[in-house]
Chain A
Amino acid sequence: MRARNLELGLLILATLITGVGYVTVSTSQSATTASDVTFDLQGTVGGFLAVVLALLVGTHIVIRLVTPHADGMLFPSAAMLNGLGYVMITRLDEGLADSQSAWIFLGLGAFCFVLVVLRDPRKLERYRYSLAVLGVGLLMLPLVPGLGATINGARIWLRVGPFSIQPGEFAKIVLAAFLAGYLVDKRELLTLTGNRIGPLHVPAVRHFGPLLLAWGVALMVMIAQRDLGSSLLFFTLFLVMIYVATSRTAYVFLGLVMFSIGAVVAWQLFGHVQNRVNIWIDPFADAKGSGFQIAEAAFALADGGVTGTGLGQGTPKKIPYAATDMIFAAFGEELGLLGATAILVTFMFFVASGFRVATNARSPFEKLLSAGLTSLLGFQAFIIVGGILRVLPLTGVTLPFVSYGGSSLISNYIILGILVRISHNSVVQAVAEQDANARAADGVRVGSEARADWEVVGS
């Protein structure tokens, strides 16, 4: 149970850090009426801390009951990111913060639901083609007249009553599961057959075709929806998963060639792609117009410097979409280089844990699925933070767990649930194998001893 105790300790730490942030934000926002502050604070902050603690410990207890051998770093890292994000959203827009707290409830609910319902993720492998249809269907749903809605130039939304849902966020998970199932199935064929062109082994088209088709359809849909960030992300996911499945650099090479051709064609065809690239090269050429978002983000980061202006002391509301896509810039301004680095480091903890789950996974399908889902979140963080920092052109995706957004948060928690579940199952499966081996060998070592060994390895 060392993993669980580590998890509980880290969750309390995350609660404290979130609480300190919340106090800072509350005081700075109500500072005009100093006499009311102390009174208000005792009520709101006390209540806030109680709710956060209850949510995290409650979820922790579910993990303890359902998946006791799961990785102990994954959930605390996500909780830390989610808590910090919530504090910043509160500081930026209290109305959004109210919705975000609802999304957090739903997200944690989805997380527990996945843990309980998805007892054996390997069963997903069977439904891979259904998943492919479901994924592409989810992606295309916003294009259906009457159902879809265009927000900020991207047609990636579904209007359902008062809510807007981004089905694409969930399509990513479903398509990752499809890719994992398909690649595990065709792995040998994709690795061994094919022709040699120069130093490269090129796969036979008949094995490669369906994959290419699925990828192409998904990509076309996203281009039609003007969602460049998701296109880039999905492409990266595709490359990572096929490389992990086959170990063949030829696929990476081919993929990069295809990407370059696609990028050039997109640049030629679409004005908005050209704009993005021009802004990336020199956002200050039109700092009051097209480059405003990037320029303001850069000014915010420069204002923050090493230590930041302090929570509630900066002016991050100047940055367009500060609570969603650009939230990292808001952190850079108010928490400085140190705070922004802490966020990136927390992401690295999360990604490292995710890849550890993949490394320890017992079945190829689970290995590939957890590697894909971890890469999804890791590269999503890189794409948006890199966009803000001008490492690559800015494409709008959320910063996982941190940004405001219901669909994004819930889908991230679903991913977290899958990873946590796989990490638990790996330990259980390993112990079962160990028990079987032990029994087969001499029957001296009993299961309980072996289990104790495996806990150390698995935690």
Chain B
Amino acid sequence: MNRPLKHVIAVLLGCFTILFIQLNRVQVYDAAALEVNPANTRTIQRDFNRPRGIISTTDGVVVAESVDTPGGLFDRQRTYPHDDLYAHIVGYHSFTFGADGVERTYNDALVGRTASQELSGLTDLLEGRNPVGNVVLTVDDDLQRLARSQLGEREGSVVALDPRTGAVLAMWSWPSYNPNLLAANSGTAANEAWTQLVEADGNPLRPRAYRDIEFPGSTFKLVTAAAALETGAATMTEPEFEVTDAYTPPLTERPLTNSGGATCGGNLTELIVVSCNTGFGQLAAERVGPPAMVDQAQRFGFNASPPFDLPNAAESLFPVDYGSVVSNSSDEIPAGVYENTPALAQAAIGQFEVQSSPLQMALVAASVANGGVVPSPHVVDRVEDSVTLNEVSDISPGSWQRAISESSAAALAGAMVQVVELGTARSVAVPGVVVGAKTGTAQLGTDPPASHAWIVAFAGRPDGPPEIAVAVLVEGQAGNADQTGGGVAGPIARSIIEQFFQ
């Protein structure tokens, strides 16, 4: 019986060999992937009892800190002194639900675990200090408060950033939530709060400003105009588009109309100033074409995740498939027409399947103001050592990518200034400040009619470069008149700009 016994030994040896291989796979090869699995709450649990740095705004207002809770379930509890005001930036640090926002992306820095912090930690250990990282935001408390009060209880978002650096100056979305409820040390209280928030109207947990995408409406015409300038399909003065109240793209019977049945046309500057649907539709369908439109949208950052320092930033979408070129056998179809060119005419004015986050539209305005370069958006300015207050790491993300040439940017910026002086965005004008803007009213096709009111803007002193770019979206406003964007969203942008330059 010893011969079959040897076979059994061999089989068991094989079984254990499989265990060794798999053990190495799980503990070494797959370990990194398992660490970042969304269901893995171990890192946060491990960190929960460790000291954690303060998060404050650029003007020194503390927005998140840990307080000692002697005798509690944990040694410390995270508190957020301003309740809902910074929820969509700072997020929460909850034992039960993990972390979101800066609390999540800068977790290692807050607990003092980044490589540079651990290096300096060696001497700290000898000196008996236990430093953690304090995170300083780029956000300005005054602007953030103003954004909240200006938007009021209307679903929407306000994003303001420095077009030169991408530093976010204010980012507010309504509805928001109180992160103190989720950070509660009592698991049952936190669970109840979570359930209520998940079921609440308007999904308060979701930071609309960077995780939601909506029709951008006419603000998207900036991208179409940029594509025309970059490809040479048009200049600001040439050609002149037909003055009309309806444009029917090739291959369809359905005409594109202007808001309120208005008649418009003229050169590109005039199209931008009055936000002329018919002119932009024709420009995109007959002169720019799908490849150049897709390329331009993507150079502004569409169809890609923005390099943002908050988790899960939404990808803004510009449709890429327009079929193939229609063969030009008859003279009735102009050259360069694609099977789905009618959709492109819609996309050119921010309808069809174009969807953008407020953050992305702020980046479009910022690129125009920044000489054509899209800045890298970020909410954290620096991390400081909690004991020495020395800067541990400087966040200098630089720029994301170039969207358009400097000359195209200058031309578009000029047109946007005219929109404020003469066109649909007169509500944004601020005395003594150069403001450029573009409004948008994205009709939702509902009954009774409702639309998203948009504005994107930049502003600077007369003798200097633009210092702030703003995007405002007020969702689901009654009516669909073209004035909605300028009328509803415009005043919010104006008060932000006014406050900034005071």
Contacts and interface: CB of A to CB of B under 8 A. Distances in A.
Q: Do A and B come from one complex?
A: yes
Interface of A: 240, 243-247, 284, 287-288, 295, 298-306, 315, 318, 332, 336-337, 340-341, 344, 347-348, 351-352, 355, 358-359, 364, 367-368, 371, 375, 378-379, 382, 385-386, 389-391
Given A305-B31, A341-B23, A371-B5, A284 B16 contact: no
Given A315-B45, A382-B15, A389 B23 contact: yes
Interface stretch (B33-41, B135-143, B337-345, B414-422): B33-41
Given A318-B42, A318-B45, A298 B34 contact: yes
B330 interface: no
A375 B27 contact: no
By CB atoms of chain A within 10 A, which of B1, B37, B39 has the most?
B1
A141 to B, nearest CB: 30
A385 B19 contact: yes
Interface string B10-29: 00110110111011101110
Interface in B19-66: 19-20, 22-24, 26-28, 30-32, 34-35, 37, 39-40, 42, 45-46
A330 to B, nearest CB: 13
Contacts of A386: 15, 18-19, 22
A379 B1 contact: no
B402 to A, nearest CB: 39
B2 interface: yes
B115 interface: no
A305 B27 contact: yes
B12 A375 contact: yes
A344 B23 CA distance: 10
Given A306-B27, A344-B20, A243 B4 contact: yes
Contacts of B27: 301-302, 304-306, 332, 336-337, 340
A347 B19 CA distance: 12
A348 B17 CA distance: 10
A109 B26 CA distance: 39
Given A347-B16, A375-B12, A337 B42 contact: no
Given A375-B12, A379-B12, A359 B5 contact: yes
Given A295-B39, A341-B23, A382 B28 contact: no
A318 B45 CA distance: 10
Contacts of A315: 42, 45-46
A315 B74 CA distance: 14
B12 A382 contact: yes
A306 B5 contact: no
Given A315-B46, A355-B9, 20 more contacts: A244-B4, A245-B4, A299-B34, A299-B42, A301-B23, A302-B40, A303-B42, A306-B27, A306-B28, A337-B27, A337-B28, A344-B16, A344-B20, A355-B5, A355-B8, A375-B8, A382-B15, A389-B23, A391-B18, A391-B22
A344 B19 contact: yes
Contacts of B39: 284, 287-288, 295, 299
Interface in B340-357: none
Nearest to B18: A391
A411 to B, nearest CB: 20
A287 B40 CA distance: 9
A240 B31 CA distance: 35
When A and B form their complex, which 7 residue pairs have the shortest distance between CB atoms, in order from nearest? A287-B39, A302-B34, A302-B31, A389-B22, A337-B27, A382-B15, A299-B40
A244 B1 contact: yes
B1 A389 contact: no
Nearest to A285: B39
18 contacts: A244-B1, A245-B4, A284-B39, A287-B37, A299-B39, A301-B34, A303-B35, A304-B27, A306-B27, A318-B45, A332-B26, A340-B27, A359-B2, A359-B5, A367-B2, A367-B5, A382-B19, A391-B22
Contacts of A245: 1, 4
B158 to A, nearest CB: 34
A352 B45 CA distance: 41
Contacts of A341: 20, 23
A244 B5 contact: yes
A420 to B, nearest CB: 19
B3 A247 contact: yes
By CB atoms of chain A within 10 A, which of B7, B20, B39 has the most?
B39
Nearest to B24: A337
A447 to B, nearest CB: 27
B94 to A, nearest CB: 14
A302 B34 CA distance: 6
Contacts of A246: 4
A371 B12 CA distance: 12
A362 to B, nearest CB: 12
Contacts of B12: 351, 375, 378-379, 382
Nearest to A295: B39
By CB atoms of chain B within 10 A, which of A299, A300, A337 has the most?
A299
Contact of B16 (A306, A382, A390): A382
A234 to B, nearest CB: 16
Contacts of A306: 27-28
Nearest to B14: A382
Nearest to A32: B75
